[in-house]
Amino acid sequence: MITEEIVHIKGQPQKLVVFLHGYIDSAPALDRKINLLVDGLDNAAVHIPQAPVICEVHENKRQWYSMHRFDPDDARKFVPTMEECVAIYDRMGQGLAEAYSYLNEYIEERLNMYGLEAKDLYLCGFSQGAMLALYYALQHEETIGGCISFSGILTPHTYLLKHHKSTPDVLLIHGNADNLVRFEALGFTRSLLEQMGCSVSTYVVEDGRHMVTEDGLEQALRYIMRRGVKQKAV
């Protein structure tokens, strides 16, 4: 179960924004990187949950599910083709399904806390957190307000193409110099989401590596604002 989180309440919450950190990461580390998004919102509750699983490669960090369980040699980072890379990510379905079960309970509790519905949820994620955010958004019975992926990839795509339960609006943000999740993941993910019937927007971070950037956060803020969350007055 998810028992740790960082919360920012902005006015009277009309939207719930949940941001999932990455692999070998933590909620406090992510919180320090997304001030631009948090400060720019009003009438929203921003929750940054801490993954409940101790990271397999760094005991002071967290993970949503084990990567080495499905890719013990980190081959996804080095295989020469996108096809080989995708095949490795597609092994991770069981890990994502397990993470979905406890994330779903967490999100349902937070929505109930504010008297909100699935359409009021904006689920963001970075890297492994982005993979989980996309998986959740597609597997949830009710369509959420929007999903924002920073440096992620859709996985397991073969399963989700056949078994997705909703078609959320999605914003994909990816650096074209990403050194960990290759940039080709952007086009790959967009194509599959569009096949499912999702409305997809994209933003390329020029020379962006594997990180959350200010311009990416600005795009995320605008994306949420267009769907009813007001920007804080300056």
Which amino acid does the sequence have at 73?
D
- SS3 annotation, 112-135: HHHCCCHHHEEEEEECHHHHHHHH
The pLDDT of residue 42: 92
How many CB atoms are located within 10 Å of the residue 42 CB?
A: 17
pLDDT (tens digit per residue) in 159-175: 999 999 999 999 999 99
What's the burial of 205, exposed, middle or buried (CB within 10 Å: 0-12/13-18/19+)?
buried
Distance CA 207, CA 143 (A): 33
Residues 6+ apart with CB under 8 A from 216: 150, 173, 203, 205, 208
pLDDT (tens digit per residue) in 127-165: 999 999 999 999 999 999 999 999 999 999 999 999 999
Distance CA 165, CA 182 (A): 27
The domain spans of the chain are 5-225
The pLDDT of residue 230: 53
pLDDT less than 70: residues of the chain = 228-234
Could you identify the residue written with the tokens 């999702």? 198
Q: Are strands 5-10 and 15-20 parallel, antiparallel or unpaired?
A: unpaired
The pLDDT of residue 227: 80
pTM: 0.96
- Superfamily for 5-225? Alpha/Beta hydrolase fold, catalytic domain (3.40.50.1820)
Distance CA 116, CA 132 (A): 21
Q: What is the DSSP letter of 110?
A: H
